[in-house]
Amino acid sequence: MLERGKGNFCICGHNSTIYAEIFNDLDQIQIGDEMYLVDNDANRTKYLYIVTEYKTVEPNQVEVLNDYGDNRLTVISCTDDGKQRQVVVGILKE
């Protein structure tokens, strides 16, 4: 069983300049920004991730989902034109 808050946890969502999508402002994120995940467990455990990387990749560059031996959050969304993917990586602050 996967331990919560461990490994490479990935969340994907839509980006659209026409519609109000969840990751419309993903390209505004800065290195050092904080991202939070809140678990739906009884304690509402909160995980804090510090953004360490923002990049644009091709859709077939799935290595962003690999296990890198650390505890990270990887957020992925398409670019405005939908041709590439925005990738934001945050490392879990322990």
Of 64, 78, 87, 88, which one is the catalytic site residue? Answer: 78
Q: Quick check: pTM over 0.75?
A: yes
Of 4, 6, 12, 14, which one is the catalytic site residue? Answer: 14
pLDDT tens digits, one per residue of 33-55:
999 998 888 888 899 999 999 99
Residue ranges and CATH numbers for the domains of the chain are: 8-92 (2.40.260.10)
Task: Decide if pLDDT at 31 tops 90.
Answer: yes
Sign of CA dihedral 15, 45, 55, 52: positive
78 is catalytic: yes
In angstroms, the CA 14 to CA 29 distance is 16
One-letter amino acid identity for 79? Answer: T
Task: Decide if pLDDT at 72 tops 90.
Answer: yes
Average pLDDT, the chain: 88
